[in-house]
Structure formats: structure tokens, C-alpha cells
Amino acid sequence: MSVRTLHYYDQIGLLKPEAHTASGYRLYGDAAVVRLQQIMFFRELGFSLEDIRRIITQPDFNVLEALEAHRTLLARRSERIDRLLATVDKTIKKLKGETDMDIKEYYQGFSDEQVEEYRQEVRERWGEDKLKDSEARVLKMGKEGFAELQAHGGAIFQAMADNMAKSTESPEVQQLVAKWRQWLQNFGPYPDEAVLGLGRGYSQDPRFAAFFRKIHNDLPEFFTRAVEYYYRKPKQPGKA
């Protein structure tokens, strides 16, 4: 705290010295130090000098209560700053190619228990290597890229629902299955057997079925039949 500031606080009646020396120096005691601390806390929290003067000169102003309130507000600010610093650090690492973002950050809306349950299921179905490869691909594309990929998948699912009036064997529906098959490759190499199993899981697994029923009540079963036909139909020459 500069001498000039102390002089100004004296002039506006915010902080008066307890006495002066013969040579004119201001003398401050313990009470003034506590009051100055209050002023500095209020300033840190964004109060104007006029508001501070009005608050601390009220007859019922309680220093202890004010300190407890300051501590609560400063703790909240500290937590917010810590979160901001963590976000900045992650962004810096990402821009430097050193990202260490947790894969759980990509599972928005799911609890840690649900995320671990899903990951364990992937391990059991396709193995630990498959899980690591898929998650590494997701982390590499970043949240923005992952959001775009999700939107692309959502568009395929909606288009499938929009074409449910057609047969699952129709060219339009089968083209959508092919697009979905290609979309899956963004998460890693899927053999035909795994893709067929996933397509069946869309109607057989209650969690998958619940997701697709939000788009259309009959979509899970329709999707499964379309995928099954995709792998049953005769392949054209030159087609994989």
C-alpha cells in the first residue's frame, strides 16, 4: 500500500490515522491495520471506495462476519481460477500436440460408473487393444472433431428413420447402411462380424434400443434387419 494511497484514504474519510508525529507522519495502530485489510478485501471483490466507506462505517458492521464472508467469496473465486487455469493448460498442451485430456470428458451426460461400464463391455467384446485404439482416435480428433463425427452419425440414423416406409432391402436404405458401415471406421477397423454384431445389438441391447427409439419407436428392429440384409445380399462383382 503506497503512502499516496494512504493519504487519499485519509482525505476521503476511509482510513484515518490514530495520531501524527511531530514531523507530520501518520501513525496507524492495530485497529487501522484490520480496517485496511477490510478495505483491500472489498477492493479485491470489486467494490468501489464509496461503497466500502458506506459499509464499514455502519454502526452494526462486524469485522469477524465480514472476514468470514470474504473467505467464502475468495475461496469460490480461487476454485473458479483453478478451473480456468486447468482449462488453459489443457488447451496449451493440445495446441502443442501434448494433449492429455481424459477420455471421460467426451462422454457428456454420463456418470463415471456408466462410462466404466461401457468401456468394460468393449473390453469383453473386442478386447483391450480395441478399446485403446478407439479412444486414441477419439482423443486425436479433439472435442470439436468428435462433435462433428457425432452429428454425422446422427444424420445417418435420422435418414434411416426417414426411410422406414421403404423396404430394408431398398437401395436407399442399403446405401445408408453402407454409409453407417463407413462411419464406424472412424472409431477403428471393424471386421464384418463385429459390424453385424453391433447392428443386431441396436435392437437386442436395451441401452442401444432406448437410444434409437427416441428417433423412431421401430427404428432399432428396422436398423437390425437392414444390417442383416446388407451382409446376406449377394455382392456385386468388384464390390467388397
Domain spans, the chain = 3-94, 142-232
Q: 3-94 adopts what CATH topology?
A: Multidrug-efflux Transporter Regulator; Chain: A; Domain 2 (1.10.1660)
For the record, the C-alpha cell of 189 comes out as 477397423
pTM greater than 0.75: no
For 17-76, what is each residue's pLDDT tens digit? 888 898 888 898 888 888 898 888 888 888 888 888 888 888 888 888 888 888 888 888
- Give the span between the Cα atoms of 207 and 33, in whole angstroms: 63
- Which residues of the chain are modeled with pLDDT < 50? 109, 237-240
The CATH code for residues 142-232 is: 1.10.490
Contacts of residue 169, Cβ cutoff 8 Å, sequence gap at least 6: 229, 233
- Give the span between the Cα atoms of 14 and 49, in whole angstroms: 8
Contacts of residue 31, Cβ cutoff 8 Å, sequence gap at least 6: 18
Contacts of residue 146, Cβ cutoff 8 Å, sequence gap at least 6: 106, 138
In the Cβ-directed half-sphere of 88, how many Cα atoms lie within 13 Å? 6
